Structure 1
Amino acid sequence: MRKMESGLLKIEALLRAFALGILLLGAILVALDSETEPIIYTIKKKATFKDIDALIALVYVDAAAAGYNLLQLSRCIVYPQIKSKSTESYLKLAWTNFLLDQVITYAQFATNSAALEASMLAITGTRSLQWMKVCNRFTRFCVQIGSALLCGYVASLLMILVSLISAFNLFRFYSPKQFLLLKGR
Structure 2
Amino acid sequence: MTLTKSILRVALGTGLLLLIPLAAKLFVPGMLWSPGDFVAAGILLFGAGLAFVLIARMSNNTAYRLAAGLGVAAGLLLLWANMAVGLVGTEDNPANLLYVGVLAVALIGAFVARFRPLGMSNAMFAASLTYLVVTAVALFVWKPTGTAAEPNVHLVNVLVANGAFAAIWAVSGWLFRRANATGSTQQLA
TM-score relative to the length of structure 1? 0.47
The structure with the larger Rg is 1
TM-score relative to the length of structure 2? 0.46
**Between structures 1 and 2, the one with greater helix share:** 2
**Between structures 1 and 2, the one with greater strand share:** 1
